[in-house]
Amino acid sequence: MNLKDTPLWEVFVRSKNGLSHQHVGSLHAVDATMALQNARDVYTRRAEGISLWVVPSNAITASDPVDRGEFFEPTASKVYRHPTFYEIPDEVGHM
């Protein structure tokens, strides 16, 4: 067998409690057990994490860059959703 048959996994690490898991990279492993141990050995050699997720890469459904315009641009014009859109008089203080 060759590596082609060894699935690719995406690795997510939680660096400490209170933070969410972050994508850190990928690796090859035959199954979830091996993927988790490989993730531990490859991506947490410098005490980078306290919790790991591994996800088969082919289980991720990604948005298509072609759709970037219709997916994401419409929100760019809705500036009123951001607090900086509103002016509060200085006298009122922090809000």
DSSP 8-state code for residue 45 = T
* Residues in 48-67 at the binding interface with other proteins, rule: CB under 8 A: 62, 64-65
Among 19, 22, 25, 72, indicate the residue that binds other proteins (CB under 8 A). Answer: 25
Rule CB under 8 A: say whether 3 interacts with other proteins.
Answer: yes
Query: 81 in the Ramachandran plot: left (φ > 0), alpha (ψ -120 to 50) or beta?
Result: alpha
Rule CB under 8 A: say whether 34 interacts with other proteins.
Answer: yes
Among 37, 51, 58, 88, indicate the residue that binds other proteins (CB under 8 A). Answer: 37
Rule CB under 8 A: say whether 76 interacts with other proteins.
Answer: no
Stretch that binds other proteins, among 13-21, 42-50, 74-82, 83-91 (CB under 8 A): 42-50
Q: How far is CA 86 from CA 9, 72, 80, 83, 95, in A?
A: 44, 23, 8, 6, 11
Tokens for 68? 């970037």
